[in-house]
Structure 1
C-alpha cells in the first residue's frame, strides 16, 4: 500500500529537527532550562521519526535491532518529555507572573535548573524503565512507520504508560490558568519586573505562554484519544503474571502497511501522534525563530561565517541607516 505522506513527512520531520535547535544557543545563555528541554526533546523526536520514516519506507524488515531498541525508547521518552518541558515552562511563567520565585542569584538559577532537569530528564528515564513492566515483546515494526513500542494492553498499562501525559498536561493547565490570573491581578508589578530583567522580555514571556498553551491543546486531547482507542480497538487483557506478560519476549512483530492500515482508528491515532512531533518544532520556530533576539543572532552568525573570507560589517555613520560589506 502506497504511503501518501512520503516524502512529505520525512522532509517535515527533518525540518522540525533542525528548526527546533536554531534558537537553542540564546535560550541556553538565558538559562531557560524548560525551554531548552522542550527544544531538545522535540528535535530528538523529529530526528527519530525522520530516520524511521526513511529506513522503513515500503518495507517492514528488521535490519537494525539495536536502532529499534533505541528508537522505541526515544518515542517513549518524548511522549512525556515534551509535555514535561511544557509543564516547566508554565511553572516558570507562573512564578514570574506572581513575582514570587524569580531567580535573582546564580544559586537560585541552579536550583531551578535542577528541578527542571528532574522533571524533564530524570522522570522520562524512570518512565522509560517502567515500560518494561507492560512491554509484551521487544518491539513492532510497522511498514512506513518503523520501530514501535509493543505494550501489552492490560489495566496496569493505562496507569504505567497512558495516564502520564494527561496528568502532566492537567498540572500544566493549572499553572497556565494561574499565570493568567496572576498576570491580570499584578500587571503593574509584572511590567516593573520585566523592565529590570535582561533575560526575559514581555514578548518572550507571551511567546512562551503561547507555546505552552498550544502544547496543552494538543497533548491532553491526543492522550485521551489514544486511551479511548486502546480500550475499543482490542479487549483489555487481564494481568495474570510477570511471566505471562513477557512470554516470548524476544519476538519482533513485522506488520505490512496493508494490515495495520485496515484499522482506520489506528491510522488516525498513529498519524496524529507522529505529525505532532514536527509540529512542535515548527511551532517553536514560528514563535521564537523570528523574534528580535533571533534576528540579532542570525546577523551575528552571518558575519561569523563570512568574516574569514574578508567580509566585515561597516560601522553605521551618523545620518546613514544601512550596513554594507567591504
Structure 2
C-alpha cells in the first residue's frame, strides 16, 4: 500500500470522497448529527488529500500558500474530528439503549443536536486553535503528499495535540461498552423506542453501532502509536518560550520524497495519516452504502437521470409506482414536466340508425348507395338471439294455408339467421298442393 504508485492513492481518495457524499442527503433527513458530521469531515478530508496528491505529485513547489494554510489546519482538525464524531454516535446510541421515556420533546432534541455539534465541530475547531501554540513554522510540503501541518515536538504538544484522539477514543469505548450492557438488560423497552422512532430502525441502529465500534477499535491503537512515534522517532525539545517556539515562523519546509522515504517512522506516520481517512470512508460506505434506504435512493436517482436524458426506464420500480415506456403514467409525467408534447386525438363516429346496422356495426349503405332507401326490416337476427322479440311478433309463414301479399317493390331480405332447430328451411313438397300454383316460390 505504502509503495504503490501515486495515482492509486489519488483514485482511492476521490472514491472515498464520493462514498461519503452520496449517502449524505438522506442521512440529513434522519437528523443524526454525529453520522452527518462524520461523513462531512471524512469526505472533505479525502477531497483535500486527493487535490494535494495531484498538485504535488512530483514537485515540492509552494504553488498555493493560502491553500496550504487551510488544508494543514484542516488536517489537524480531522485527526480529532473523526474520533469526536465516533463519540457522538456512541453517545447517542447509549442514550437510545438506556432511554427511560419513549418520546422526546422538541427542547430535548434541540439540546441533543447542540451537544453533538459542540463535540463534533467545537472540539476540532478548538484543536486547530490550540495547535497554533506549538506550531513551529507555517507548514511543510512533502512530495507526493502535499501540504502538511508542522508541530513543534515539545511536551506541551502531547497535551494540546497528540493526546486528543486517544482521549476521545477511550470515552467512546466507555459509551460503547455501556450500550452493549443496556441492550442486554432493557431489550423490550429498546424495541418499543425503535417502533415509534421513524428515523431510526433496528438495522440502522446496529449498523451505527458497528461503525462506532470499529472506530473505537482503530482509534485507540492508532492514537497510542502516534504518541509512541513522537516519543521515539524524534527528539523531544524543551519548551523555552513563545518566541523560541515560533522563531522564523513564516518559513516553509519542502521535503522531496527521496528524503522523507529514508525514515521508516516518518513514512509510517505520513502514509497512515492519509490512508486512514480513505479507510474510514470505505468502512462507512460498507455499512450504509448498501442498506435498504440507500438502494431506494439509488433507484430514484437512476429513474430521474434516465428520464432527463430520454432513456428507457422500463422495469425500474420507484416509490411512486412502475415506469414503463409508453405507459399512461409516463405520458402524464411528460406532460407535467413538459419534456415531450402530448397529442390527444378524439375519435368521433357518425350516429347511424339502428335498423341500418348489423352486429358488425357496418352499414350496407357504405358499400352501395342503392341500399340507402331500404325499407324497414321486419326483424333482426341479433334481436331474436337476445330474446327481445317474442314469437307472437314474428311473421306467419304460408305453411298454414294463408296467402302472403306480395309487396309492390321487392323488399330486401334480411340476413340468414343462425342455423337452429326451428330455422330449417321447408321444402317445396311441404307446401299444400292447393297453394303451389298461387305462390311463386323462389
TM-score range, shorter chain: over 0.9
How big is the shift at 1:109? Answer: 1.9
Report 1:37-116 matches (<5 A).
Answer: 37-100=37-100, 104-116=104-116
Q: 1:72 to 1:203 in 2, by over 3 A?
A: same
Tell me which protein shows more helix as a share of its residues. 1
Alpha-carbon displacement from aligned partner over 1:208-234 (angstroms, at most 9, x marks no partner): 011011111211111111111111111
Report 1:1-326 matches (<5 A).
Answer: 4-100=4-100, 104-309=104-309, 324-326=324-326
Cα pair 1:17 1:46 within 8 Å, conserved: yes
Cα pair 1:42 1:281 within 8 Å, conserved: yes
Cα pair 1:314 1:325 within 8 Å, conserved: no
How big is the shift at 1:193? Answer: 1.6
Residue equivalent to 2:341: none
How big is the shift at 1:122? Answer: 1.7
Distance in 2 of aligned mates of 1:79 and 1:275: 12
Alpha-carbon displacement from aligned partner over 1:85-130 (angstroms, at most 9, x marks no partner): 1100000000001114776233322221111111111221111011
SS in 2 for 1:85: helix
RMSD of Structure 2 on Structure 1 (CA): 2.0
How big is the shift at 1:309? Answer: 4.7
Distance in 2 of aligned mates of 1:146 and 1:51: 9
How big is the shift at 1:4? Answer: 2.8
Q: 1:41 to 1:100 in 2, by over 3 A?
A: farther
Q: 1:163 to 1:217 in 2, by over 3 A?
A: same
Distance in 1 of aligned mates of 2:258 and 2:316: 63
Unaligned runs of 5+ in 1: none
Distance in 2 of aligned mates of 1:100 and 1:229: 45
Cα pair 1:95 1:102 within 8 Å, conserved: no
**How many positions carry a matched residue from both structures?**
321
Distance in 1 of aligned mates of 2:316 and 2:8: 44
Distance in 2 of aligned mates of 1:223 and 1:199: 33
Distance in 2 of aligned mates of 1:214 and 1:165: 14
Distance in 1 of aligned mates of 2:145 and 2:313: 47
Q: More deviation in 101-110 or 269-278?
A: 101-110
TM-score, with length taken from structure 2: 0.70
Distance in 2 of aligned mates of 1:4 and 1:171: 35
TM-score, with length taken from structure 1: 0.93
SS in 2 for 1:250: coil
Q: 1:184 to 1:323 in 2, by over 3 A?
A: farther
Distance in 2 of aligned mates of 1:289 and 1:184: 28
Cα pair 2:72 2:139 within 8 Å, conserved: yes
How big is the shift at 1:262? Answer: 0.8
Distance in 1 of aligned mates of 2:92 and 2:57: 41
How big is the shift at 1:206? Answer: 0.6
SS in 2 for 1:7: helix
Unaligned runs of 5+ in 2: 327-442
